[in-house]
Amino acid sequence: MAQKIQLVPFISLFFLLLVPIYSKNPTAQKPQPFGFLKPLQGCRKGENLAGLRDLKQYLNKFGYLNYNSSKAHDNDEFDEFLEAAMKTYQANYNLKVTGTLDFETFSKMAMPRCGVPDVINGTNSMRRNKKRHRQNNHHSRPKKLHTVSHYNFFPGFPRWPVGKTHLTYWFDLGTTHPDAIPAFARAFAKWSSYTQYFTFEETEEYEEADITIGFESGEHGDGFSFDGQGGILAHAFAPTSGMLHCDADDLWSIGALPDYTDLETVALHEIGHLLGLDHSSVEDAIMYPTITPGTVKDLHADDVQGIKALYNI
């Protein structure tokens, strides 16, 4: 049965079994992080509309815009750079490439998503969906595979070192609700089972952990702030950083519930980043960047093929 999670760690387990479990401040009336998009529907190159600077900031956050001057973001002009960024976004998400904020593009942009950029340092990994590669060894770039897939790696192919297949993970119990821990454990177990390469074990020792997990709000010290309900859900860093953070202010559930986000699904996605996978353009893949509330997803063949190619399994 689906279950809601309230991110208040001091509530007893006995109490949790007796009442519904809600997320932190579920009824709080706060602006939607991506709510600025709705009034901009239909905007196109040459227009000057209040709020376009927010669209630029959105696309800049996820790697699509890189003006030479930071001041160029701070205006409401729909210029050629914004149009080009829109087209790249649309191509990445398999939308009609119009360069305008049409309804389909607005709908995709407004969905809750991972905070990891789609374009990193100018490298658009989501469009490198050509023949994939398998490595000769763990120190070389992959060699060609015979199948066409859409999984992607971070620039530079960061990965865990050769022989480092057993990874330990630690929960920040000051921020993490107890019901969240089993969801992560199941997600780790799935990656282990599907890949037959990595194994994972929880540790209570922060200093010994390869992976650290916590729920945070707003700015939390890693340079990638959260934005509240309905925007960025979580983020994780490429190997071997091991940091994984979820937004404590989002609506979390265990299982499919309308308007809530399934924690295990997001955990599967972010663990993929921890192992070295970047975003995929395959909508059914766990590494696809956005998720519809109430959706439960599992690992996809594209995700498994990506890890096997990266680690030459």
Binding annotation: 114, 210, 220, 222, 227-228, 235, 245, 247, 269, 273, 279, 287
Phi then psi dihedrals of residue 93, to 5 deg: -100, 20
For residue 8, what are the CA distances in angstroms to 66, 74, 132, 168, 176? 39, 38, 44, 25, 8
Q: In which residue are the tokens 């409401």 written?
A: 76
With left for phi above 0 and alpha for psi between -120 and 50, is residue 4 left, alpha or beta? beta
Nearest to 179 by CA among 264, 246, 299, 236: 264
Q: Which residues are annotated as a binding site for Ca(2+)?
A: 210, 227-228, 247
Q: Which helix (H) or strand (E) holds 88?
A: helix 80-92
Catalytic site residue from 77, 104, 204, 270: 270
Determine the 3-state secondary structure of 7 from DSSP.
Answer: coil
Binding residues for Zn(2+): 114, 220, 222, 235, 245, 269, 273, 279, 287
Per the DSSP assignment, residues forming a β-bridge with 202 are 169
Between the two ends of the chain, the Cα-to-Cα distance in Å is: 36
Which among 243, 270, 257 is positioned nearest to 296, based on CA atoms? Answer: 257
Q: Tell me if residue 219 is catalytic.
A: no
Q: How far apart are CA 54 and CA 46, in angstroms?
A: 17
* Cα separation, 82 vs 88, whole angstroms: 10
Residue closest to 211 by CA, chosen among 156, 275, 151: 275
CA-only gyration radius of the chain, Å? 20
Distance CA 265, CA 220 (A): 23
Active site residues: 270
